[in-house]
Amino acid sequence: MGILEVKDVNKNFGGLKALSDVNLSVRENSVHAIIGPNGAGKSTLLNCLVGKLIPDTGSVMFDGQSVLGRKPHEINQMGISRVFQTPEIFGDLTVFENVMIPCFASRDGAFRMHAYEHTRHETDIVSMAEQMLADVKMLEKRDIHAASLSRGDKRRLEMAMCLVQRPRLLLLDEPTAGMSRADTNNTIELLREIRDKRDITMAIIEHDMHVVFSLAERITVLAQGTPLVEDTPENIKGHPKVQEAYLGEAA
């Protein structure tokens, strides 16, 4: 049994079959990559995991509990954090505040009336956020507005916001898109470090094969809403079906 079990999930948009009979099992404390051409349904699958979409049929279990029918904040409180394909950050807030908010969410739950204490006097939260920003090498940018960051930095910030929550399952939707080569390598390094140091499961969607093969222990190939194969990186590389559906198209 994996920590995440997706069974027979179907999702239609009007006549379009975005997901058909998707089955996926992600083993605890592993890195699982989901690859596939544009429009394959990768983001749709993640949307079904975090409560943004509800599948038409099928079940999604996280750690033995169903996530279906739960609100996004409840799913996050179960231990699932997500980095979106287009960065979702608090643009009007500073970088530091962006990282503090998830810390508060993890410590205080979905709502806390906390209107008298000065934010800066929450020393445990402040040091947690500072440490996280140092880990992603963004500490010197702490006081600038998140909206004015570069695209790569926005992604890095969003990743920091997810990591600081110490999620049990981290969902990453193209975490290195729009990053420079150097930033991509830094990100790979960071994710590796976290994978080795903490108990964390990652599901990562990525077009950059360098990232996929650097991190993933298992890979699922999705095409037109259906999983084609699931295997180790070594076997996926030479798999004819994959060549045809994915790499073949790209070449």
Ligand X SMILES: Nc1ncnc2c1ncn2[C@@H]1O[C@H](COP(=O)(O)OP(=O)(O)OP(=O)(O)O)[C@@H](O)[C@H]1O
Task: State the residues that interact with Mg ion by CB under 5 A.
Answer: 43, 85
DSSP, residue by residue, 1-61: --SEEEEEEEEEETTEEEEEEEEEEE-TT-EEEEE-STTSSHHHHHHHHHTSS--SEEEEE
Nearest to 196 by CA among 217, 211, 210: 217
Q: Which residues are CB-contacts of 208 (< 8 A; sequence separation ≥ 6)?
A: 176, 177, 184
Tokens of 77: 């409180």
**Stretch in the footprint of ligand X (CB under 6 A) among 11-19, 71-79, 107-115, 240-248:** 11-19
Is 176 near ligand X (CB under 6 A)? no
- The least distance separating ligand X from the CB of residue 170, rounded to whole angstroms, comes to 17
Residue 115 vs 250, nearer CB to ligand X = 250
- Site membership for ligand X, residue 39 (CB under 6 A): yes
Instruction: Check: CB of residue 220 under 8 Å from CB of residue 227.
Output: yes
Q: Of the ranges 11-19, 78-86, 134-142, 195-203, which one interacts with other proteins (CB under 8 A)?
A: 78-86
Q: Residue from 38, 64, 118, 251 that binds other proteins (CB under 8 A)?
A: 118
Q: Does 224 bind ligand X (CB under 6 A)?
A: no
Binding span for ligand X by CB under 6 A among 25-33, 39-47, 177-185, 241-249 = 39-47
Angle at 109 between CA 66 and CA 5, to 5 degrees: 20
Distance CA 134, CA 224 (A): 40
Question: Does residue 13 touch ligand X according to CB under 6 A?
Answer: yes
* CB of 173 vs Mg ion, minimal distance in Å: 6
Under rule CB under 6 A, residue 211 binds ligand X: no
**Partner touching 114 among ligand X, Mg ion, other proteins, none, CB below 5 to 8 Å by kind:** other proteins
**Options 25, 30, 77, 85; binder of ligand X; rule CB under 6 A:** 85
Cβ atoms of 41 and 222 within 8 Å: the answer is yes
Residues 170, 201: contact at Cβ < 8 Å?
A: yes
Residue list 43-62, contact with ligand X (CB under 6 A): 43-44
